[in-house]
């Protein structure tokens, strides 16, 4: 399966880390040049800055377009790919999981990541090797650092953009309800900045673990954005009422010895 690692050419430590990680796991990959704030002109930023529930920063718009370009590449190649952000830490199970999931049918997206939040998942699952299972994923709000995307799923994500505008990459994926998504358990990918949450030793370059989006406060915007957030929460609440009848809301397990 193709592996696309979204990374700025200037992110030397992160690229070095990914090269070492891929060599260790014996995985072929390619770096997909990330969109930088210098690639987002004023017209594009103005067009999308108010699309979401709060004003988007230029770094967030650039991050979204990085994922968008990966989706376009999947459509162009007409083959699924594992999309990674360059701070994704992979478990030893990833190579075998990729082989087992390559030819899966009637699936748009398979999420490999978790960030310690509960998800709405089906009560039943199927075995996919490496003592792992595949579960239907109905609601997720936990990042976009590692996921398999199939061509039909990529088309749906771009269609959602045309209908709703853009958001944070993970929020956009979550809001596209037409995407038929699944979750791998135990979690085979986490972001480097979440290692301490799972009590995993941090042996990675410090700079490779720092977020490129920054940690400064994010403006919540005017009353228009407050209304957007209220409407979103109401819709989310109604959706969750429906989901609870066919799914369960729980944490996704992680197997620390796999990392």
Residue 85 burial by Cβ neighbours in a 10 Å radius (0-12, 13-18, 19+): buried
Q: Which of 25-34, 113-122, 217-226, 233-242 has the lowest mean pLDDT?
A: 217-226
Provide CB contacts within 8 A for 208, sequence distance 6+: 13, 14, 17, 86, 87, 192
Q: Taking residues 91-101, what's their average pLDDT?
A: 96
Dist CA 243 CA 249 (whole Å):
9
- Residue 215 reports pLDDT greater than 50: no
The string of pLDDT tens digits covering residues 183-193 is 999 999 999 99
**85: closest CA among 143, 2, 21, 137?**
143
Owning domain of residue 97: 2-258
Q: Which of 149-158, 191-200, 232-241 has the lowest mean pLDDT?
A: 232-241
- Residue 38 reports pLDDT greater than 80: yes
- Residue 22 reports pLDDT greater than 90: yes
Helix (H) or strand (E) run with residue 135 in it = strand 133-139
Helix (H) or strand (E) run with residue 73 in it = helix 58-77
- Residue 203 reports pLDDT greater than 70: no
pLDDT at residue 153, as a whole number: 97
Q: Taking residues 63-82, what's their average pLDDT?
A: 97
Contact predicate 66/6, CB 8 Å: yes
Domain count, the chain: 1
Sign of CA dihedral 4, 49, 233, 153: negative
Average pLDDT, the chain: 90
Dist CA 53 CA 31 (whole Å):
31
- Identify which has the larger pLDDT, 16 or 238: 16
Q: Taking residues 20-45, what's their average pLDDT?
A: 95
Main-chain dihedrals φ then ψ at residue 123, nearest 5 degrees: -80, -20
pLDDT at residue 230, as a whole number: 83
- Residue 13 reports pLDDT greater than 90: yes
Read off the CATH number of the domain in which 134 is found. Answer: 3.90.550
Residue 140 burial by Cβ neighbours in a 10 Å radius (0-12, 13-18, 19+): buried
What pTM was estimated for this model as a whole?
0.88
- Residue 222 reports pLDDT greater than 80: no
The string of pLDDT tens digits covering residues 139-169 is 987 789 999 999 999 999 999 999 989 999 9
The string of pLDDT tens digits covering residues 116-131 is 899 999 999 999 999 9
pLDDT at residue 202, as a whole number: 61
- Residue 40 reports pLDDT greater than 80: yes
Q: Taking residues 194-202, what's their average pLDDT?
A: 84
């Amino acid at each position: 399966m193709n592996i696309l690692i979204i990374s700025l050419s200037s992110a030397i430590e992160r690229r070095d880390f990914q090269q070492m990680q891929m060599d260790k796991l014996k995985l072929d990959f390619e770096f997909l040049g990330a969109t930088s704030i210098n690639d987002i002109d004023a017209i594009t930023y103005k067009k999308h800055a108010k699309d979401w529930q709060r004003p988007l920063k230029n770094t967030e718009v650039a991050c979204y377009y990085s994922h968008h370009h990966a989706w376009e590449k999947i459509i162009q190649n007409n083959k699924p790919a594992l999309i990674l952000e360059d701070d994704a830490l992979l478990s030893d199970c990833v190579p075998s999981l990729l082989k087992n999931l390559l030819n899966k049918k009637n699936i748009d997206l398979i999420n490999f990541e978790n960030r310690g939040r509960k998800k709405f998942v089906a009560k039943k699952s199927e075995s996919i090797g490496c003592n792992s299972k595949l579960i239907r994923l109905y609601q997720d709000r936990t990042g976009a650092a590692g996921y398999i995307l199939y061509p039909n799923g990529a088309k749906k994500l771009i269609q959602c953009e045309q209908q709703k505008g853009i958001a944070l990459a993970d929020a956009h994926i979550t809001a596209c309800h037409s995407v038929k998504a699944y979750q791998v358990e135990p979690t085979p990918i986490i972001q480097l900045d979440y290692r301490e949450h799972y009590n995993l030793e941090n042996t990675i370059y410090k700079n490779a673990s720092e977020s490129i989006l920054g940690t400064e406060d994010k403006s919540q915007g005017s009353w228009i954005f407050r209304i957007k957030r209220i409407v979103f929460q109401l819709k989310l609440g109604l959706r969750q009422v429906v989901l609870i009848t066919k799914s369960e809301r729980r944490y996704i397990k992680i197997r620390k010895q796999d990392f």
